[in-house]
Amino acid sequence: MRVLVTGAGGFLGRAVVRALRDHAIRAHAGPPGAPGPADWARADVEAIGSLVSGVDAVVHLAGPPSVADSFARPVEHARAHVVGTAALVAALPAGTRLVYVSSAEVYGRPARNPVAEDAPLRPVSPYGAAKVGAEAVIGAAGVSAVVLRPFCVYGPRGAGVVGHVLRQLADPAARAVELADLRPVRDFCHVDDVAAAIRAAVEGEARGAFNVGSGRGVSIGALAEAAVRAAGRPLPIVERPERRRAADVMEMVADVGHIERALGWRARIGLEEGLRS
Q: Out of 36-40, 145-149, 189-193, which region has the weakest mean confidence (pLDDT)?
A: 36-40
Q: How far apart are CA 260 and CA 264, in angstroms?
A: 5
Query: Average pLDDT for residues 273-277, to the nearest whole number?
Result: 94
Average pLDDT over residues 46-68: 91
Per-residue pLDDT tens for 239-256? 999 888 776 899 999 999
Per-residue model confidence (pLDDT) at position 168: 97
Residue type, 212: V
86 C-beta neighbours (distance < 10 Å), count: 21
Pick from 69-78, 190-199, 252-261, 266-275: least confident: 69-78
Alpha-carbon distance of 89 to 100, in angstroms, equals 10
Strands 177-179 and 237-239 come out as: parallel
List Cβ neighbours of 94 (8 Å cut-off, separation of 6 or more): none
Q: Give residue 144's pLDDT band: very low, low, confident or very high (50, 70, 90).
A: confident
Does the global pTM surpass 0.85? yes
Q: Report, as an integer, the average pLDDT of 153-168.
A: 94
Catalytic residue (choose from 100, 107, 127, 154): 127
Is 107 a known active-site residue?
A: no
Could you tell me the pLDDT band of residue 140, with boundaries at 50, 70 and 90?
Answer: very high
Longest Cα–Cα distance of the chain, Å, equals 57
% of the chain surpassing 90 pLDDT: 83
Look at residue 34 and tell me whether its pLDDT is greater than 70. Answer: no
Q: How far apart are CA 162 and CA 154, in angstroms?
A: 6
Beta strand segments in the chain, E: 2-6, 24-28, 57-60, 97-101, 145-150, 152-154, 177-179, 185-186, 188-190, 208-212, 218-219, 237-239, 251-252
- Average pLDDT over the chain reads 93
pLDDT the model gives residue 46: 75
Hey, what CATH topology would domain 2-151+190-212+256-267 get? Rossmann fold (3.40.50)
Contact assessment for residue 17 and residue 8, using Cβ atoms and an 8 Å cutoff: yes
Query: Does residue 160 contact residue 153 with C-beta atoms inside 8 Å?
Result: yes
pLDDT of residue 189: 98
Which stretches within 117-270 are classed as H helix? 126-141, 160-170, 191-203, 220-231, 257-263
